[in-house]
């Protein structure tokens, strides 16, 4: 019979490029469910992110400062290996729509095959955030749309700075 560990450590992995209010909602809820929550940015060389891993870590650290049991980190390689290294028992994942579920189910089953003692916990997105994705935020913002209420204010400010730098470079 498996016993609950004295302290439950969960990892909430993602790219967080940029962090959205949907991500922040899951972090807030996860911080209440687990003794320690590690928000972990995957270092993925195949993607062309808007923000560097270091910038995303800064943004995340800033917006989770009010949660004493939440820490920000990054990792390379397999998530299950990182989870073992951090002594995590749980992976936290968010589900926005049925399309998310299919992908997340496949990933969770593969992770279970690779590390059977690692559980995946799915939280349904808050209805107010169920349509928000980092990709969509970047697309709307890049086309001049308003993203207030979709990302934390400090992230919106960074997006504005990044966009103004990009426009200046394009004008040169």
Q: Where are the domains of the chain?
A: 9-171
Q: Is 134 annotated as catalytic? A: yes
Q: Is 153 annotated as catalytic? A: no
In 3D space, the residue among 27, 61, 34, 30 whose CA is nearest the CA of residue 158 turns out to be: 61
Q: Which of 36, 86, 96, 162 is catalytic?
A: 96
Give every CB contact of residue 34 below 8 A, 6+ residues apart in sequence: 8, 9, 10, 69, 90, 92
Q: Is 96 annotated as catalytic? A: yes
In 3D space, the residue among 9, 82, 71 whose CA is nearest the CA of residue 44 turns out to be: 82
Query: How confident is the model at residue 170, as a pLDDT?
Result: 56
In 3D space, the residue among 165, 150, 132 whose CA is nearest the CA of residue 55 turns out to be: 165
pLDDT at 10 over 70: yes
Q: Is 154 annotated as catalytic? A: no
Antiparallel, parallel or unpaired: β 70-75 and 36-42: parallel
pLDDT at 169 over 80: no
pLDDT at 172 over 60: no
CATH topology for 9-171 is Rossmann fold (3.40.50)
CA dihedral 155, 105, 96, 16 (to 10 degrees): 0
8 A C-beta contact, residue 9 and residue 90? yes
Residue 28 is encoded by which pair of tokens? Answer: 């807030």
Q: Which of 23, 56, 93, 158 is catalytic?
A: 23
Q: Which of 31, 134, 138, 158 is catalytic?
A: 134
Query: What global pTM score does this model have?
Result: 0.89
Mean of pLDDT over the chain: 90
Separation between Cα atoms, residue 9 and residue 36, nearest integer Å: 5
Give the model's confidence band at 17: pLDDT under 50 very low, under 70 low, under 90 confident, else very high. very high
């Amino acid at each position: 019979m498996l016993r609950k560990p004295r302290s439950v450590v969960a990892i909430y992995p993602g790219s967080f490029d940029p962090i959205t209010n949907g991500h922040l909602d899951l972090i807030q809820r996860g911080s209440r469910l687990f003794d320690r929550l590690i928000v972990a940015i995957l270092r993925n060389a195949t993607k062309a992110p808007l923000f560097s891993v270091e910038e995303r870590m800064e943004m995340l650290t800033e917006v989770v400062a009010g949660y004493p049991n939440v820490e920000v980190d990054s990792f390379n390689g397999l998530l299950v290996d990182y989870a073992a290294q951090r002594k995590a028992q749980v992976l936290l994942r968010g589900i926005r729509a049925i399309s998310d579920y299919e992908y997340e189910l496949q990933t969770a089953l593969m992770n279970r095959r690779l590390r059977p003692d690692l559980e995946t916990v799915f939280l349904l997105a808050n209805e107010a955030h169920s349509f928000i994705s980092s990709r969509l935020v970047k697309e709307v913002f890049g086309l001049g749309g308003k993203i207030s209420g979709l990302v934390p204010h400090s992230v919106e400010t960074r997006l504005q700075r990044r966009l103004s730098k990009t426009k200046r470079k394009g004008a040169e």
